[in-house]
């Protein structure tokens, strides 16, 4: 499903160069719930954004379902993000002057909305428990509710992969539990591949794939490595 | 996406309002100046349409007031084929009227009220026109007698008024030179005209052409005017000439100028053309002035949109993350600034309409500001283009953000 091969990413920060990723190689099988964990500044989010084609690696290859992200043109990247990837951010990042249902429909605004799309958006909001709040603006929703809108926005396109960056980072534990409960249910129903960056290991189940990053390098323990290999064979 | 762009403006009402004010003022200026320019053209056109003859005066002079011609040129003019009536006239700036000297009043207005007041005072300066009454009576198109007949009071000058101190004045002058009790001068009242040798003149008629250029003339007999103004018998200022065929004015004018090279035979078409050239130059000057204001408007829009886009890095990052292309982001921000331009144009048009309606209630002298439909279109068009141009750079800047950088920059 997702193959990352010797990916390096460096940034210029003033006079110095920061090496965020220093040669990461990993495989995430289709339909898995994968976590990327590690300390702050270890390169977790950078790897996640590269998987979403939000930026290009300095070197290495990333292949998602046979598509080489590093060889994509700008337009192909746009299509990839629009049709195949769903994003969930720590800070929810809803558009403040759009209603919940309009936020869910954001990927389709440039192309124009159809009644079918609007029906799907309302259905998704209902699935995440916000059926009665479709016309609410973000400021009228709690943090947990906003994150559920963001989940619906990520899922409206029925993506192959959902990428989540600390999705419970700004939520209390109850709201965090609710978000993971929804994510796991939707992943089970749709067989979507989920890749989640987190600090909080409470939400990791024994069957989940865990990729631990430290100083820009992948540090995977033996049991997880074995599971990765099994996953790769599947 | 249009609705989204529209809402983005509404969610920042103060900034949007300030940007609208910044852009509306120069657009209002453009509409106002063209409106004034159109009003002046109409006024001059209306005025000149009332005069169907040709004015023969000394070459290269701006006004009949400064012209002097030998009286015997009248006979030479009559000899030009196509000429029907030659009416000699004496023109001068009026000396003191009721103790007020025109030059003194203009100078005083310049000191106390500045250029605008002095300009009005200059346009209001009364002139004396001495007419050869018998020949003027034969004219087809007498502006003053016809306007007196239509809207005036009293009577026009008759051959029996020759050599007498009888005058016809405009309604405007009757209000400018009040009686001792403060009411406007009327038929039968007297005006005291002259600097050293002040004489009383009886008002026998009051005309009202409705034109600020014509309603400043005190009309009297040419002999009386000569005595008052010190003009000798063998000199006139101008000859007012009517042709046998009024449609041949331009052709006969050329013939007059050919026969008498030191005169200028100005048909009203020529006056109109000359005025049009002057107004075109004035328009260019005004447009250059307004362009500066427009430039400030564009800078205001750029500033507004730059601030708006800088605050919204995360939003653009999220949009790009959700598959929006650079072109989509460019279109969104450009649409927002175009909406700003469109709104500023619409506001300017409404304000211009209201302003012109109010101003036209208060200005007189035949001047009416005009607001043709094309002027509304021009205002909205300029505003739309200005708004769109002002938004292009911020839109380009927003669209060029790498999604990951946009989210990171906006989060910090």
Q: Where are the domains of chain A?
A: 2-84+159-233, 94-157
- pLDDT-derived band at A167 (thresholds 50, 70, 90) equals confident
| A130, pLDDT greater than 50 | yes
Q: Per-residue pLDDT averaged across B128-153, rounded?
A: 87
Nearest to B93 by CA among B62, B55, B125: B125
Residue of A nearest to B324 (CA): A78
What span, in angstroms and rounded, lies between the C-alpha atoms of A67 and B145?
93
What number is the ipTM of this complex?
Answer: 0.86
- CATH for A2-84+159-233, options being 3.30.1300.10, 3.65.10.10, 3.40.50.300, 1.25.40.90: 3.40.50.300
A40 in reach of chain B (CB within 8 A):
no
B320 in reach of chain A (CB within 8 A):
yes
- pLDDT-derived band at B366 (thresholds 50, 70, 90) equals low
What span, in angstroms and rounded, lies between the C-alpha atoms of A103 and A4?
31
B331 in reach of chain A (CB within 8 A):
yes
Tell me whether residues B323 and A109 touch, CB distance under 8 A.
no
Please give, rounded to a whole number of angstroms, the shortest distance from the CA of B349 to a CA of chain A: 29
Tell me whether residues B7 and A93 touch, CB distance under 8 A.
no
Q: Per-residue pLDDT averaged across B241-267, rounded?
A: 87
Element (H, E) at B84: strand B83-93
- How do beta strands A217-218 and A209-214 pair? antiparallel
Tell me whether residues A97 and B314 touch, CB distance under 8 A.
no
Displacement of CA A148 from its chain's centroid (Å): 14
B84 by Cβ neighbours in 10 Å (0-12 / 13-18 / 19+) ranks as: middle
Q: Which of A49, A79, A107 lies closest to B404 in CB terms?
A: A49
Which of A21, A77, A95 is the best residue to mutate to test the B interface, defined by the most B CB atoms within 10 Å of its own CB? Answer: A95
Q: How far is CA A174 from CA A138, A144, B226, in A?
A: 19, 9, 107
Q: Which two tokens stand for residue B255?
A: 């013939």
Residue of B nearest to A46 (CA): B404
* Cut 0.90: pTM above it: no
**B82-104 tens-digit pLDDT:** 899 999 999 999 988 888 776 66
Please give, rounded to a whole number of angstroms, the shortest distance from the CA of A55 to a CA of chain B: 6
CA angle A19, A14, B406 (to 5 degrees): 75
In sequence order, which residues have a C-beta less than 8 Å from that of residue B82 and are 6 or more positions away? B243, B244, B245, B248, B251, B252, B255
- pLDDT-derived band at B197 (thresholds 50, 70, 90) equals confident
- Whether the CB-CB separation of A37 and A210 falls below 8 Å is answered with yes
Q: Per-residue pLDDT averaged across A200-205, rounded?
A: 86
């Amino acid at each position: 499903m997702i193959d990352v091969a010797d990916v390096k990413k460096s940034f210029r920060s003033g006079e110095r160069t920061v090496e965020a990723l220093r040669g990461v190689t990993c495989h995430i099988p289709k339909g898995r719930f994968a976590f990327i964990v590690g300390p702050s500044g270890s390169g977790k989010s950078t790897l996640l954004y590269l998987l979403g084609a939000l930026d290009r690696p300095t070197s290495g290859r990333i292949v998602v379902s046979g598509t080489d992200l590093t060889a994509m043109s700008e337009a192909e990247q746009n299509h990839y993000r629009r049709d195949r990837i769903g994003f969930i951010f720590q800070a929810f990042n809803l558009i403040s002057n759009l209603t919940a249902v309009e936020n869910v429909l954001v990927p389709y605004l440039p192309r124009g909305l159809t009644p079918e799309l609007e029906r799907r958006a309302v259905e998704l909001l209902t699935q995440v428990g916000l059926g009665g709040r479709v016309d609410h603006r973000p400021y009228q929703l709690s943090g947990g509710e906003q994150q559920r809108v963001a989940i619906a926005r990520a899922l409206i396109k029925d993506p192959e992969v959902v990428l989540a960056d600390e999705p419970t980072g700004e939520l209390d534990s109850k709201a965090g539990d609710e978000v993971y409960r929804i994510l796991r249910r939707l992943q089970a129903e749709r067989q979507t591949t989920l890749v989640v960056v987190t600090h909080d290991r409470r939400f990791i189940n024994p069957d989940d794939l865990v990729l631990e990053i430290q100083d820009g390098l992948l540090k995977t323990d033996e049991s997880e490595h074995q599971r990765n290999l099994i996953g790769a064979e599947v | 996406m249009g609705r989204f762009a529209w809402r983005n403006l509404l969610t920042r009402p103060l900034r949007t309002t300030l940007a609208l004010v910044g852009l509306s003022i120069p657009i209002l200026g453009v509409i106002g100046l063209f409106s004034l320019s159109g009003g002046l053209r109409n006024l001059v056109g209306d005025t000149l349409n009332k005069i169907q003859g040709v004015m023969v005066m000394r070459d290269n002079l701006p006004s009949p007031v400064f012209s002097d011609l030998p009286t015997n040129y009248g006979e030479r003019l009559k000899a030009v084929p196509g000429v029907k009536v030659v009416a000699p006239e004496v023109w001068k700036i009026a000396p003191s009227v009721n103790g007020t000297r025109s030059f003194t009043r203009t100078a005083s207005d310049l000191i106390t009220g500045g250029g605008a007041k002095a300009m009005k005072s200059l346009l209001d300066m009364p002139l004396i026109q001495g007419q050869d009454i018998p020949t003027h009576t034969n004219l087809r198109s007498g502006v003053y007698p016809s306007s007196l007949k239509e809207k005036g009071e009293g009577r026009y000058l008759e051959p029996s008024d020759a050599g007498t101190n009888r005058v016809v004045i405009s309604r405007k002058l009757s209000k400018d030179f009040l009686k001792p009790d403060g009411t406007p001068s009327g038929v039968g009242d007297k005006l005291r005209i002259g600097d050293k040798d002040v004489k009383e003149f009886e008002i026998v008629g009051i005309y009202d052409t409705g034109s600020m250029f014509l309603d400043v003339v005190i009309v009297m007999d040419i002999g009386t005017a000569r005595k008052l103004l010190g003009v000798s018998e063998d000199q006139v200022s101008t000859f007012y000439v009517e042709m046998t065929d009024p449609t041949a004015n331009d052709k006969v004018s050329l013939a007059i100028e050919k026969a008498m090279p030191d005169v200028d035979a100005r048909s009203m078409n020529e006056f109109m053309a000359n005025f049009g050239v002057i107004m075109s130059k004035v328009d260019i000057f005004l447009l250059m002035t307004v362009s500066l204001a427009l430039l400030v408007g564009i800078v205001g829009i750029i500033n507004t949109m730059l601030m708006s886009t800088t605050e919204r890095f995360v939003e653009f990052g999220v949009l790009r993350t959700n598959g929006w292309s650079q072109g989509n982001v460019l279109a969104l921000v450009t649409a927002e600034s175009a909406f700003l331009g469109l709104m500023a144009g619409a506001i300017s048009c409404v304000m211009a309409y209201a302003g012109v309606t109010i101003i036209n209630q208060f200005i007189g002298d035949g001047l009416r500001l005009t607001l043709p439909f094309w002027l509304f279109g021009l205002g909205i068009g300029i505003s739309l283009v200005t708004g769109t141009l002002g938004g292009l750079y911020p839109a380009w800047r927003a669209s060029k953000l790498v999604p990951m950088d946009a989210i990171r920059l906006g989060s910090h």
